[in-house]
Structure 1
Amino acid sequence: MLIFQLAVILIASKIAGDISVRLGQPSVLGKLLIGIVLGPTVLGLVTDTEILKEISQIGVILLMFIAGLETDIDEFKRTAKSSTSVGIAGIVMPLALGYGAGIAIGLSNIEAIFLGLLLSATSVSISVQTLKELGKLKSREGATIMGAAVIDDVLVILALAFLMSFAGGDVNLGMVVLKKVAFFAIVIALSWKVVPWVLKKFAPLQVTESVISAALIICFLFAYFAEYTGVAAIIGSYIAGVAISLTNYKTEVTHKVETISYAVFVPVFFTSIGVTAQFSGILENLGLIVLLSVIAIVSKLIGGAFGAKITGFPWKNSMAIGAAMVSRGEVALIIAAIGLENNLLTQDMFAVLIVVVLLTTIVTPPMMKWFFSKTTQPEEMALKKNA
């Protein structure tokens, strides 16, 4: 059954992606939508099995690994201030509006704060693919988006741990913070000294594709360590990619990992997002879904854009950055599952938020396409500055 599902996903995702591009949209939009068609909601050809989830997880890890490989570290350093501003502003506005909406619909203070935190999460895995297709991943905007995503992820997880300690969850806040600090300290040290050494030692081995194997080992271990310490696995794989991008093996690893990833794993990831969609009971909660979707999209868009604008980006470029932060993706789904498990979300609210997360993910690629088509190019910015 799995083999058949993989064949269906690969055929459908490639065709849907091509149609999406022909219609003037990023290919990832077609891949997301075809997942809904293939899933239980429409055709039922693909089901959300555990093994499909695992393959999908590998897909998103590899996608963020590639993003790390293609990161310009000098540009990343230059945009640190902008990334921090975008990350923080992109949390404050969704948190405030989400809390307000929670209170308005009758949630308790703790539940409303949890809702705000869930809407504050962001996942740029979808945005990464769109940035690649638009040729913007290595731009100043791309570096800002990637940095902001890391900051957003860490701050939301820390805030969630703080909230859970008050909500009666079995959470040691000091240990949570310590784990995060330990993660970044250790992976930075490993990236600086150990990663180049490992690649250098693997390169002369008399086996096929030794360097690529070493790179994937590093990627998966960093992702595992990130997840183990409470940081998203995608952050670990992204940092692994950045570490390898600073070595002489960057080009070889990038080329071959892209081949592996885009042939199988990444299409499964994009399509599986649509497959997981459950629309049962949607009509009964349609008003709430619309309200929370509008809050989720507008708050992240405006919050991220404001954070970029106050650090020197033109408004059009700022809006493009804000648009890239809109998708909540798998990060919000994980937080929603935590809320359901700890009785901070009812089953009905959980179902509503799954649809909201899906909608934010679907609207992100066309929004990015539109806003980036309006952005001021670097040379134009320079001319205006010197005028």
Structure 2
Amino acid sequence: MPHSVSLINTVAAGLGLALVLGFLAARLRLPALVGYLLAGVIIGPFTPGFVADASIAAQLAEIGVMLLMFGVGLHFSLDDLLAVRKIALPGAIVQMAVATLLGGGLAAWWGWSPGGALVFGLALSVASTVVLLRALESLGLLDSFTGRIAVGWLVVEDLAMVLVLVLLPPLAGVLGGQGAAAGAAPVWQTLGLTLLQVGGFVTLMLVVGRRVFPWILWQVTRTGSRELFTLCVVAAAVSIAFASAALFGVSFALGAFFAGMVMRESEFSHRAAQESLPLRDAFAVLFFVSVGMLFDPRVLIERPLQVLAVVGVIVAGKSVAACALVLLFRYPLGTALTVSASLAQIGEFSFILAGLGAALGLLPAEGQSLLLAGALISIAINPLLFTLIGPLQKRLSVRSSFARGLASRDDPLAELPVSTEARYLSRQVVLVGYGRVGRRIAAALAAHDIPFVVAEQNRELVEKLRAEGMAAVWGDAAEAAVLIQAHIARARVLVVATADAINVRQMIRTAHTLNPSIETVIRSHNEDEARLLTQETSATVFLGEQELAQAMAQAAVHRAAPAA
């Protein structure tokens, strides 16, 4: 009974206080998660008054991470992951290396052991997937190409951290810690076994899971029971995550992510995402509360300069490295800034690694306190960084010739080939985005023999489209140079099929500046945003739910109307 009461107290105090402080933060025009973090600090063991059970809160938060990653998997297909592999894989590895060097260098300067410095640097190098997803969802960027780059980047980081967590115990003795147990396997053998386990898990999920789990979901759907459907979705997320950790040594979060990816093959994936949304939101709040409970405010007073240095590595060091890497891969400045803001925080994997490092005698006690302080501050200010992307990009473009050069770099994919047919370059449609919506629009235009030019930020996709003989230009359509290359001045219609809600206004303004008579058609996922866009622009705005409702209503009226 005491344990169950502790569970109820923790959930009631955590959610109740998070609601109050989250509401106050929102009224003060601050991110609601700042209130959630403060709620955790208040009910944590380092502040007077009621103290919640930190171990229970941490377990509840782990469930939230699993459900959230499952939801991401439902929206993130294997094709999406492969589409960004050329930037996400090398980018994540190099960025982690840079951040590890920066954090490890700080720790070494403070006099820590090499092992402690390594663990500290690695903990600073990996960002929180939970924080990233909440930020991308709130901005409507989760389904955009930039959002897929950021999510793919963090998936690579998570895979790398799985290897780190497995290899650290046998390497602890060499690094100055307590060392591996007697008779432990050599490092190379442990690494090989880990790679086999992770590879086996991914193969099993993608080969077997893509057929089995959608079939199970279909069988449950046939019963007509909503609660069974919801139970199937939640059970799949949690049980697959647990099995992946128990059998393959993969993290709960990564297991749940791949579970969502294979469930996406089902035609009911959108319904599964909607059914699990309330649980995901509630447990995600508990995650932020649990982070706040681990924070000891005294570290801000006792070690203020060290805290500032840690926050500097997380917010500035990682961001600059990520921005430089994305620009080196010749992606637009806006994409580079968005990815940089996405990575300017640390979270769940950092806490797990810090706990393991402390248990192995590698990370000193102050290391955990500094990591938690850095996590709390970086998570709190991360949403504010996203709000600065637009103004910063505009300011750099106006005042910096270097930034303007980045937007107009000499790149063959940024210009239409000279051999492009003349019919594409007069009274054509400029189609921004070639995702799930853009492909269908392109097919309809082609079926009616209407010429169009695709503007797309995915370099690999532009190469593929050109190989198929389609007119396509690479770059961010918010930049005038990209629309100019798409011959917007002679176009008839601008169609924005991308989910990027941040730059759509800039696209419309630029298009009307270059072609005052052009018609614009855009999409929106948010009713309030759609209303604002309709008021602020002359564009025709399509809201997904509204269009679906109208089509279904017309079908129902047509079938229900009495015969003439």
Q: Which residue of 1 aligns with 2:477?
A: 379
CA distance in 1, matches of 2:123, 2:18: 29
In the alignment, is residue 217 of structure 1 matched against residue 315 of structure 2?
A: no
Match of 1:128 among 130, 133, 140: 133
- Residue 258 (1) aligns with residue 263 (2): no
Instruction: State the Cα distance separating 1:164 from its structure 2 match.
Output: 4.2
The 3 A distance-change label for structure 1 pair 19 and 71 is farther
- Aligned identity (percent) is 24
Identify the structure with the greater strand proportion: 2
Task: Kindly provide the amino acid, as one letter, of the partner of residue 358 in structure 1.
Answer: L
What is the Cα deviation at residue 81 of structure 1? 1.7
Q: TM-score, normalised by structure 2?
A: 0.63
The code of the aligned residue for 1:153 comes to D
- Name the SS of the counterpart of 2:263 in structure 1: helix
Change (3 A) 1:268 1:46: farther
Post-superposition CA distance 1:22-43 (Å, at most 9, x none): 4444433332233323434446
Please report how far the alpha carbon of residue 274 of structure 1 lies from its aligned counterpart in structure 2 after TM superposition. Answer: 1.2
Report the Cα distance in structure 1 between the residues aligned to 2:312 and 2:119, rounded to whole angstroms.
Answer: 18
Stretch deviating more after TM superposition (57-66 or 296-305): 296-305
Corresponding residue SS for 2:478: helix
Given that 1:13 and 1:30 are in contact with CA atoms closer than 8 Å, whether structure 2 keeps it comes out as yes
What residue ranges of structure 1 are gaps of 5+ in the alignment?
none
Task: Give deviations 1:185-225, integer Å, cap 9, x for gaps.
Answer: 22222332211122122222475522222222221123113
Query: Whose helix proportion is higher, 1 or 2?
Result: 1
Q: Please state if 1:17 is matched with 2:3.
A: no
Letter of the 1:293 counterpart: V
Distance 1:166 1:4 in 2: 40
**DSSP-derived class of the 2:143 partner:** coil
The yes-or-no answer on 1:60 pairing with 2:53 is: no
User: How far is the alpha carbon of 1:132 from its aligned partner?
Assistant: 0.7
2:261 counterpart letter in structure 1: V
Given the superposition, is the C-alpha separation of residues 46 and 304 from structure 1 closer, same or farther in structure 2, using an over 3 Å criterion?
A: farther
Aligned CA distance change for structure 1 residues 219 and 316 (closer, same or farther; 3 Å): same
Q: Which of the numbers 200, 212, 225 marks the counterpart of 2:218?
A: 200
2:444 — aligned with what?
none
Q: Find the counterpart in structure 2 of residue 157 from structure 1.
A: 162
Partner of residue 331, structure 2 = 313
Distance (whole Å) between structure 2 residues aligned to residue 115 and residue 276 of structure 1:
17
Match of 2:401 in 1: none
Change (3 A) 1:121 1:5: same
Structure 2 distance, partners of 1:246, 1:17, is 36
Do residues 274 (structure 1) and 297 (structure 2) align?
no
Residue 238, structure 1, aligned to residue 251, structure 2: no
Correspondence for 1:331: 349
Q: Secondary structure at the match of 1:209?
A: helix
For 2:226 and 2:96, locate their aligned partners in 1 and report how far apart those are by CA, in whole Å: 46
Residue 101 of structure 1: aligned partner? 106
**Paired residue type of 1:249:** F
Q: Is the deviation greater in 105-114 or in 155-164?
A: 155-164
* Displacement of 1:249: 0.8
**Of the candidates 155, 175, 188, which is equivalent to residue 206 of structure 2?**
188
* Shift of residue 323, structure 1, vs aligned partner: 1.5
3-state DSSP class of the match of 1:379? coil
Change (3 A) 1:230 1:371: farther
**Aligned with residue 285 of structure 1, among 300, 303, 326:** 303
Deviations 1:133-182 (A, max 9, x none): 11111111111111111111222332454454333243623222222222
CA-to-partner distance for each residue in 1:322-359, whole Å, 9 max, x for gaps?
12112221100000011001111122322222222322
Looking at structure 2, the residues matched to 160 and 257 of structure 1 have their Cα atoms a distance apart, in angstroms, of: 29
Matched position secondary structure for 1:360? helix
SS at match of 2:302: coil
Give CA deviations for 1:282-330 in whole Å, capped at 9, x if unaligned: 4333222222221222222122222322233222321221121122211
| CA distance in structure 2 between the aligned counterparts of 1:16 and 1:54, rounded to whole angstroms | 22
CA distance in 2, matches of 1:93, 1:248: 42
Q: Please say if residues 33 and 362 of structure 1, whose CA atoms lie closer than 8 Å, have aligned partners that are also in contact.
A: no
Q: 1:309 to 1:48 in 2, by over 3 A?
A: farther
Q: Is contact 2:318–2:344 with CA below 8 Å preserved after alignment? A: yes
Q: Distance in 2 between matches of 1:77 and 1:363?
A: 31
Aligned position for 2:94: 89
Cα distance in 2 for partners of 1:163, 1:258 equals: 35
Q: Distance in 2 between matches of 1:254 and 1:222?
A: 16
Does the Cα contact within 8 Å between 1:226 and 1:233 map onto a contact in 2?
A: yes
After superposition, the Cα gap between the structure-2 partners of 1:353 and 1:315, relative to the gap in structure 1 and judged at 3 Å, is: same
Give the Cα separation in 2 of the matches to 1:4 and 1:240: 32
Segment of structure 1 superposing worse, 15-24 or 98-107? 15-24
Superposition map of 1:4-43 within 5 A? 4-42=9-47
Letter in structure 2 aligned against 1:92: A
Separation (CA, whole Å) in 1 of partners of 2:391 and 2:276: 29
Larger of the two Rg values belongs to structure:
2
Indicate conservation of the 8 Å contact 1:28/1:126, yes or no.
Answer: no
Contact 2:161 2:349 survives alignment (8 Å): no
User: Is this contact kept in 2: 1:90–1:152, CA < 8 A?
Assistant: no
Contact 1:300 1:323 in 2 (8 A): no
